[in-house]
Structure 1
Amino acid sequence: MSLLKSAATVSGLTLVSRITGVIRDMLIARYFGAGAETDAFYVAFRLPNMLRRLFAEGAFQQAFVPMLSDVRETSSRERSKAFVDHVFTVLAAAVLLASVLGVLLSPLLVWAIASGMREDPAAYTLAVGLTRVMFPYIAFMSLVALAASVLNTLKHFAVPAFTPVLLNLSFIAATLFLAPTLEEPIWALAAGVMAGGVLQLMVQVIALRRLSVKLRPRGWRESIGDEAVRRVLKLMVPALFGVGVAQLSILINTNIASWLGAGAVTWLNYADRLMEFPTALLGVALGTVMLPGLSAAHAKGDAERYNALLDHGLRLVLLVGVPASIGLWLTADALVAFLFQGRSFTAADVSQTALAVTGYAVGLIGLIALKIIAPAFYARKDIRTPVRAAFASLVVVQLVNLVSVPLFAHAGLALSVGIGSCVNALTLLTLLMRRGIYKPLTGWGVFGLRTGAATALMAAGLWSAQRGVVWTDLVWTWRAAGALGIVAGAAVIYFGVLFVTGWRLSDLRPKR
């Protein structure tokens, strides 16, 4: 399957995931609103989510996928199966221990990530209780990450891309059917999290079994003594620092948000959900497909293929990332009002969430580009360089916070994250070019002019279409029709201008 087809498959299923995720958030926003209870839930959910991104989807995948590609290229099928079993044994033991410690240390963890909640004892107690219930979610998702890594390496991208839908469906079912039956409805969301974790793991295991891959525990000494496993662990150490820097930045920003009053954590969460739409559809999807491809090209010594894949990915970043950033900024009020306003989510909540969306939009292209550029280093087993760049971006984020938070409150936190991501991506891209790892292929000048002109005309259309419109004053049907209409119109203008200036779908094919 070609890069474009693979990315399209992942993007399509990721779109389904994001659509169900938006429906989930629409229901949660309408049912629970934005206040101390939702802040407590999102703080509690952020803890296992943060560790999932740190250990499972972050450092683990960055170290495991290149090693699995190497083992498959240089060893027998039986050796590959043994390697996967050994990694499964070590990972399962580690996440089980982490889950137990997380449950026991929940009060300390909540204080670390949201110390401002101590000002509201009821919210703090609720956050601690929710954390204890949801922390074992990391165990399920770590094993899901292992199964997904194997499936992606085998070029079976569909199931890993689809499984997040199951978590969203669990949330939706819990909100609609379980929450109304509980004295404290917020606990239904915790039940939805755990049910989603179980379902995602079951689906991944079934998919592996159909490919005759069975995750079987082996002896601890045998597993930890596997040289390839030790190599994965060594690669994970610098990767943990790299991913940990990003998660540390999130932790610091969440802690700051907890001091900005009830609702701030929730507003940022919903803004983050909107920002994740374009990030996931292109960045995560293409990054997921590119890492195995880049790893295989590097393992074979095919520098030409490696360079072509990276160049193609960067062109797609420019093609989609720039208009997505501008479009998200100009449609923030319309999208937030359409998606979240209603019942318990007021016009004031819409305004505050839209402010955070505009902050994230500033750095959206950086967030997308990182999903493409970082795998170029991971594929070469160079994790130290992204770590150093991530540390530099952390410093930038906190320096920006010193100015942006006093000026823009919670929206300043979103702005700092966006700026830090752009600095991180630009630093890594510069290093790739200086080291001669990446050399831009021909045609970038014309491509840049086309996308720039198309984005400018699209922005003008969006601004003109919304002059004098107060989205929160409209009924939901008009908000929905208006928001979807201007988004569709923006897409028509953007791709129409590209087509008129000579761009064709054939340009999406990687060059040699």
Structure 2
Amino acid sequence: MKRSLLSSGIKLSFLTFLSRILGLIRETTKAAFLGTSALADAFGIAFMIPNLFRRLFAENSISVAFIPVFKAYLEDSRTKPAAQAELKDFLNAVCTLVSFATAITVILGIAAAPFIAPCFLKSSDTEIIPELIFLTRVMFPYLFVISVAAFFQGILNSVNVFTPSGFTPVLFNIAVISAAHLLSPHTANPARAMAYGVIAGGTIQALFQLPFVIKQGFKPAFTGLKRAFGNAGTKRVLKLIGPTIVGMAAYQLNDVVSTALAGNAGTGIVSSLQYSLRLQELILGIFAVSVGTVILPDLSSLAKRKEYEAFERMLSQAMHIIALITIPISFFLFVFGENLIILVYKTQRFSDRSVTLTLHAFRFHIAGLFFIALNRIIAPAFYAQSDTKSPTFAGIGGFGVNILLALILIKPMKGGGIALALSLASFANTVFLFIFLNKSKTLHTGSLLPSYVLYAAKLVLFSLICIWPLYFFKERLFMPFAHLHRFFAQGIPLCIAALIFALCGICLLIVTKDKTITYALKRRRR
């Protein structure tokens, strides 16, 4: 089981790492063309609005409801010949519902753009509002194509095929980057060029996965709406989605309120928060999302077979891997965050002010990295058991904490206040999830939390030991390269510091005979 988890995780992590690197290049391209200007804020807000519905319709519905139900149909189809027809009808019904719901939302979103978009920018930025409305209308159809892509991804992930879906974000980022460079000279501004790239990239994501879905023997098609809503499988999906829509809507409302607060706090706050989040998501995407994506189908199968001891072992292993990665990285990035921001973003349009704004948010975002990653591992444990209410209540609790703190902190701390509110809300969400996990009737997690807290505390201590000398010798480390281009002036000493930090940490883990690192090293030798 561990071997399967590690093997699938490594493959998906490599592809996700590649896509996140390209996502970072995409964000670097945005920084080079737009900086932290009002136009950059407008593009970020316009992309955020359809993205909110994407997470609600696509990611939420597929991961929380579709995969567990589809896995159940697959299990039945292996023993019951009649279940093959039921499986086909179920896929057609879901395909119809996803397409219908997202198409209606896109139409309504385009029509309502003039009323929605202006809420996210302060009155002094009225000259940019027409552009914001235009960009919102251009990018709203992205919701439709990316929802279809997520549906295909759900099918493939359910049969443990992860590579095609892992590669599609790479294609998306290439499309946006290429559009920015190729279309900018021919459009009114670079933001429009990137918006066209977003639509092209989402379409490519859907079309690329379709042949792999067909290769697995599935050919989703449309059916009548009455038949789609009446399908037994879709009723189960909708029943599972119902509670989570409330929780997910609360979670997404975090983004809405935070973006509105940031847009009214001053020019550049929205874009600086997004630049900061992109760096944070690079780490989350490589590890937390990859591990969470890989374990969900396996956890669903173990839950269906009631193999809860194996279920607990897989969950515990995933949690330890996340702690081992995110806690040390958080300490390293807190010390070297400014150098990373300069390396990735610093250009003529991305000024010293832009660096300061982004660093202010980044340090507070990094404080919540571990908890955000942990939440993305624990939540699948509930979804695999068809328990959508627990993470929903946890999400609502986190939402309440985030909005309350954001309203309090936005005035004295600007973008940093919004970032800190998100990190503290992520911690609160983790606490709520552990409370619900401890109340589970099928899992025996009483001893899981104390041992895990001790393991996390050990990693915090080791991280402090490793980062302490680097903190004091930081200036001496960067000084010999200061006269070089920023890629070398920042990149070379950053790599040296990261290598020293990693080697120091690995030595401490080996000396203390850490089980997780020992297992990883054994697999490496094999």
- The TM-score with structure 1 as length reference comes to 0.94
Q: 2:459 aligns with which of 451, 457, 477?
A: 451
Q: Which secondary structure state, in structure 2, belongs to the residue aligned with residue 213 of structure 1?
A: coil
Q: Which secondary structure state, in structure 2, belongs to the residue aligned with residue 2 of structure 1?
A: helix
Per the alignment, residue 354 of structure 2 pairs with: 349
Q: 2:289 aligns with which of 284, 289, 292?
A: 284
Q: Match for 2:277: what amino acid?
A: D
Q: Which secondary structure state, in structure 2, belongs to the residue aligned with residue 120 of structure 1?
A: helix
Q: How does 1:470-489 map to 2 (within 5 A)?
A: 475-476=485-486, 477-489=488-500
- Contact kept? 1:245, 1:391, Cα under 8 Å: yes
| Alignment partner of 1:23 is 2:25 | yes
- Contact kept? 2:89, 2:231, Cα under 8 Å: no
| Alignment partner of 1:464 is 2:469 | no
Per the alignment, residue 141 of structure 1 pairs with: 146
Q: Deviations over 1:449-468 (max 9, x none)?
A: 65234312222143124247
1:342 and 1:445, CA in 2 relative to 1: closer, same or farther beyond 3 A? closer
Q: Deviations over 1:182-228 (max 9, x none)?
A: 33222101111011011101111121122222121122222221111
1:242 and 1:59, CA in 2 relative to 1: closer, same or farther beyond 3 A? farther
CA distance in 2, matches of 1:260, 1:462: 35
- Contact kept? 2:296, 2:384, Cα under 8 Å: yes
Q: How does 1:319-468 map to 2 (within 5 A)?
A: 319-435=324-440, 437-439=443-445, 440=447, 447-448=455-456, 450-467=458-475
1:472 and 1:47, CA in 2 relative to 1: closer, same or farther beyond 3 A? farther
1:280 Cα deviation from its structure 2 partner: 1.1
1:61 Cα deviation from its structure 2 partner: 2.4
Per the alignment, residue 197 of structure 1 pairs with: 202
Q: Match for 1:462: what amino acid?
A: L
- Contact kept? 2:168, 2:208, Cα under 8 Å: yes
Kindly report the root-mean-square deviation, in angstroms, between the aligned alpha carbons of the 2 structures: 2.2
CA distance in 2, matches of 1:465, 1:12: 32
Q: How does 1:236-255 map to 2 (within 5 A)?
A: 236-255=241-260
CA distance in 1, matches of 2:61, 2:428: 21
CA distance in 2, matches of 1:42, 1:63: 29
1:488 Cα deviation from its structure 2 partner: 3.0
Per the alignment, residue 275 of structure 1 pairs with: 280
1:250 Cα deviation from its structure 2 partner: 0.9
1:472 and 1:238, CA in 2 relative to 1: closer, same or farther beyond 3 A? farther
- Contact kept? 1:465, 1:486, Cα under 8 Å: no
The size of the alignment, in residue pairs, is 508
* 5+ long unaligned stretches in structure 2: 78-82
Q: Deviations over 1:47-73 (max 9, x none)?
A: 111111111112342111111111111
* 5+ long unaligned stretches in structure 1: none
CA distance in 1, matches of 2:122, 2:457: 49
Comparing 475-484 and 197-206, the one that deviates more: 475-484
Per the alignment, residue 12 of structure 2 pairs with: 10
- Contact kept? 1:59, 1:243, Cα under 8 Å: no
Per the alignment, residue 519 of structure 2 pairs with: 507
Comparing 152-161 and 470-479, the one that deviates more: 470-479
Q: Match for 2:301: what amino acid?
A: A
Q: How does 1:155-194 map to 2 (within 5 A)?
A: 155-194=160-199
Q: Match for 1:507: what amino acid?
A: Y
- Contact kept? 1:461, 1:490, Cα under 8 Å: no
1:297 Cα deviation from its structure 2 partner: 0.7
Q: Which secondary structure state, in structure 2, belongs to the residue aligned with residue 252 of structure 1?
A: helix
CA distance in 1, matches of 2:456, 2:109: 48
| Alignment partner of 1:495 is 2:511 | no
Q: Match for 2:115: what amino acid?
A: L
Per the alignment, residue 43 of structure 2 pairs with: 41
Q: Match for 1:382: what amino acid?
A: D
